[in-house]
Structures are given as structure tokens and as C-alpha cells.
Amino acid sequence: MLKQRRMVAEQVAGALFEAEAAIDAARSKTAALTGMMPALRKDAGASALIGQDAVERASQAIAALADARRAIVETHKELSIVQGQIGLGAVSVGDDGAKLSTVTEDRRTQRLLRPVRAA
């Protein structure tokens, strides 16, 4: 039964990581498009009024993708709770062996890393 739960968790984690990467890629490409349009308009010698609506719509798309990123991060947090609920809290899940999240870890045992001062 534990093996089956782990296999399911691996599938969910893989889908989650793919969704996170897709949102990040969409944000990056949409930001590049949004930044490119005014520069190309200027290079073409067109008025600042030309393409303004398109720039505004692309900016709205970036805001929507930021909302989507926030939602997928919250999904990640919720899934880390589920991971603990099904008895996999101490198990690494995902292709890279990383924990799905550290939300279920005991915060009292976590230590912050600090840089060592140069000698």
C-alpha cells in the first residue's frame, strides 16, 4: 500500500512540477513580448498611440499569470499537507528527489544558513 501511495505521489509531483514550469515559461515569454512591442514600435517610427491596446492586454496577461503562479504555489503547499496525511511526509518525491515541500517539516529544527565571514 505504501508503494502504491508513493507511486501516486510521484505522478502528482511530476504533474505539479510541469505545471509550475509551464506557468514560469509563459510568464517569461509574455514579459518578453510585452517589452518588445514598444521598442519595435519606436524602431518603426510609429506613434506612441500605435499598439498601446496590445501592450495593455499583454500586461493584463502578465498579471493573470502572476495570479496563476500564486495559485499553483498554494496548490504545492496543500499537496505537501496531503503528503503528510498519507504517510509520506518524510519521503522525497519528484524526479530530482527533492521533497514536494518542506511545509510538513518541524520548523523548530530548521536552521538558517549564514555566510562565513572572509578571513
Spell out the residues 6+ positions from residue 89 whose beta carbon is closer than 8 angstroms to its own. 83, 104
Domain ranges across the chain: 2-109
The reported pLDDT for the residue numbered 105 is: 41
**Going residue by residue through the chain (119 aa), what tens digit of pLDDT does each one get?**
788 989 999 999 999 999 999 999 999 999 999 999 999 999 999 999 999 999 999 999 999 999 999 999 999 999 999 999 988 877 666 555 444 544 434 433 333 444 555 54
What is the total residue count of the chain? 119
CA–CA dist 67, 19 (Å, integer): 14
pLDDT at res. 38: 96
Q: Give this prediction's pTM.
A: 0.71
* Cα torsion 31, 58, 33, 19: sign: positive
